[in-house]
């Protein structure tokens, strides 16, 4: 029989996590950071409220998204109730479960969130107490939150257990070897998972009943990251890969040891040599940082940077190549592309092989990587056609597309799009193609940038208008409306500086809608575990509603002296 208490625990935890995500704001409370250990391996924190104009704009749609999730959960609840009622004596449990679910679902709305003492100004932080996750969230009124917990306990028919740590009371539920803890401490709620074997002092440390002597507020790590990368207190975070590697090579705390004892997955003992080489590997990308750089009612700019060792970053920075139009947003449905210099990529790879040969790995864990050096040399010694090293990248712009059905893999009925292939001495590429295809030879395409009409049967099915244009370093092909003009314009389009490695822009609302509609369609497979239509429709609504908040979305990937930088801009709809 399904235990009501377990449902209460799981659903309540999910609900509180959704509260923090829906709040997505904070209360100018940098004091929240004083509870976070300075050596936490990961953290994401918001200590500044998003602009009121933005919150006012997003809240109605967020509320509708939560209601769509409610619909999906209600359908799953109905299925579960049928199963429970079919069991002997299950009718009473089913009715109790129904009451529990209704209570939880009532919290999944803006009104329900506010009623639980969580305002949109509530600061929050999600971080690691060692490897164990902790969610800390500010409350406007802890009594409201406690009342919400009590209602769920009442509906579940079972109260959570009560414990004490250094004079502080908390509620918890035991799930085999771990305890899920929910504690309201002054104006905050703390939710964490700890080994059931933890003593009072370890639980107190996990709850932050006393600030760690070395904490993030004192270390000012997040502030330093924000200053270096232009992140705001709206949202800043990081993952410390060296700290994580240290945990798995023996540099553990009592909290970490307790975690491994519970999971039964103690990391294998490693030699000093292996430990040093693992830490050296982690040092290649010692940290991943991320955050919001600009937040307004018009757009949200964010970035994630994989920090790299200086020599690795410098080597990667030589790989991107400028491609006409790459990194700019032409509008329309979607554009994407990348630019690279294959010779620089080869040089980077060869340099890494040289480095491994000069200082071979001695740890058995890296034996396969070491053996791969010889295979890498074979790859480098394999002759490649000159055109491969002449290639610089491509850009594809899809202004419009009609009749595409992702769920049925149906080809589009019509398309208005352009593609540019950047290659040194592009004329030689066309000449090679002309030797293999008389139709291409008949085009007499010259590197003068002038459009030439394409009369190809392959294109006639979905594009009545097609043109190609050629320059000394690129070939463009355009289909659909204004194809003649677009084919010429692509050749002379600007590329952003510095040149990105990859770039993508899209009409976010249309993309989300297209994916949502595809997910709602009846799958072609007859498998028994297909998602019910009610849930598919709810997922579709979530996708469409989520997309309706945005006008356009852009993502650029750049290789810089700092590492791999992924920058995104979400332009919000009116």
For residue 292, which of 66, 49, 63 has the smallest C-alpha distance? 49
Which positions of the chain have pLDDT values less than 50?
1-9, 19, 21-28
What pTM value is reported for the model?
0.88
Per-residue confidence (pLDDT) for residue 326, from 0 to 100: 96
Q: What ranges do the domains of the chain cover?
A: 4-210, 334-343+385-572
User: Cα–Cα distance between 229 and 238 in angstroms, integer?
Assistant: 12
* CB 423, CB 429: distance < 8 Å: yes
Classify each residue of 151-189 as buried b or exposed e, where b means 16 or more C-beta atoms within 10 Å of its C-beta.
bbbebbebebeeeebeebebbbbeeeebbbbbbbbebbb
What does DSSP assign to residue 307? Answer: E
Per-residue confidence (pLDDT) for residue 492, from 0 to 100: 94
* CB 564, CB 308: distance < 8 Å: yes
* CB 304, CB 290: distance < 8 Å: yes
Per-residue confidence (pLDDT) for residue 526, from 0 to 100: 56
Per-residue confidence (pLDDT) for residue 27, from 0 to 100: 43
pLDDT tens digits for range 499-511: 999 999 999 998 8
| Strand blocks (E) in 368-465 | 391-402, 414-423, 452-453
- Tell whether omega for the bond before 336 is within 30 degrees of 0, i.e. cis: no
pLDDT tens digits for range 308-317: 999 999 999 9
- Tokens found for residue 421: 């292939």
Per-residue confidence (pLDDT) for residue 12, from 0 to 100: 52
Spell out the residues 6+ positions from residue 326 whose beta carbon is closer than 8 angstroms to its own: 337, 338, 339, 393, 395, 495, 496, 499, 500, 503
Per-residue confidence (pLDDT) for residue 38, from 0 to 100: 93
């Amino acid at each position: 029989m399904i235990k009501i208490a377990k449902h209460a625990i799981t659903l309540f935890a999910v609900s509180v996590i959704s509260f923090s995500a829906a709040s997505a704001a904070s209360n100018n409370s940098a004091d929240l950071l004083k509870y976070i250990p300075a050596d936490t391996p990961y953290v994401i924190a918001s200590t500044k409220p998003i602009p009121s104009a933005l919150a006012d704009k997003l809240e109605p749609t967020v509320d509708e998204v939560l209601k769509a999730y409610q619909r999906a959960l209600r359908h799953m609840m109905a299925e579960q109730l049928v199963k429970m009622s079919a069991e002997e004596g299950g009718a009473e449990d089913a009715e109790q479960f129904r009451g529990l679910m209704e209570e939880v679902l009532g919290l999944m709305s803006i009104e329900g969130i506010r009623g639980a003492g969580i305002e949109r100004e509530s600061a929050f932080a999600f971080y690691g107490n060692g490897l164990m996750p902790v969610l800390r969230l500010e409350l406007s009124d802890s009594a409201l939150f406690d009342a919400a917990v009590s209602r769920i306990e009442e509906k579940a028919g079972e109260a959570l257990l009560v414990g004490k740590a250094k004079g502080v009371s908390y509620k918890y539920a035991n799930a085999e070897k771990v305890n899920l803890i929910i504690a309201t401490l002054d104006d905050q709620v703390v939710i964490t998972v700890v080994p059931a074997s933890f003593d009072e002092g370890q639980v107190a440390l996990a709850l932050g009943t006393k600030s760690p002597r070395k904490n993030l507020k004192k270390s000012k790590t997040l502030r330093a990251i924000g200053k270096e990368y232009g992140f705001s207190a709206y949202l800043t975070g990081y993952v410390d890969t060296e700290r994580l590697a240290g945990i798995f090579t023996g540099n553990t705390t009592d909290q970490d040891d307790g975690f491994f004892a519970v999971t039964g997955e103690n990391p294998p003992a490693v030699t000093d040599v292996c430990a040093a080489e693992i830490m050296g590997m982690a040092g290649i990308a010692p940290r991943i940082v991320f955050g919001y750089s600009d937040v307004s009612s018009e757009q949200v700019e964010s970035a994630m940077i994989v920090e790299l060792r200086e020599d690795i970053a410098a080597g990667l920075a030589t790989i991107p190549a400028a491609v006409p139009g790459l990194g700019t947003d032409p509008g329309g449905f979607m554009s994407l592309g990348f630019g690279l210099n294959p010779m620089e990529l080869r040089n980077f790879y060869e340099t890494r092989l040289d480095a491994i040969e000069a200082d071979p790995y001695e740890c058995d864990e890296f034996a396969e990587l070491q053996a791969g050096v010889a295979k890498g040399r074979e790859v480098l010694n394999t002759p490649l056609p000159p055109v491969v090293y002449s290639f610089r990248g491509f850009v594809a712009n899809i202004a419009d597309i009609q009749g595409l059905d992702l769920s049925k893999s149906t080809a589009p009925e019509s398309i208005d799009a352009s593609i540019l292939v950047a290659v040194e001495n592009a004329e030689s590429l066309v000449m090679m193609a002309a030797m293999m295809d008389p139709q291409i030879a008949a085009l007499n395409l010259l590197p003068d940038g002038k459009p030439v009409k394409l009369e190809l049967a392959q294109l006639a099915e979905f594009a009545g208008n097609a043109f190609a244009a050629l320059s000394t370093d690129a070939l463009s092909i355009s289909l659909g409306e204004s194809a003649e003009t677009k084919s010429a314009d692509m050749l002379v389009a600007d590329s952003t500086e510095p040149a990105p490695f990859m770039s993508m822009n899209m009409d976010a609302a249309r993309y989300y809608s297209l994916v949502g509609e595809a997910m709602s369609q009846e799958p072609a497979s007859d498998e028994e575990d297909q998602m019910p239509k009610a849930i598919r429709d709810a997922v579709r609504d979530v996708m469409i509603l989520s997309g309706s908040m945005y006008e356009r979305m852009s993502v650029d990937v750049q290789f810089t002296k700092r590492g791999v930088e992924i920058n995104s801009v979400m332009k919000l709809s009116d």
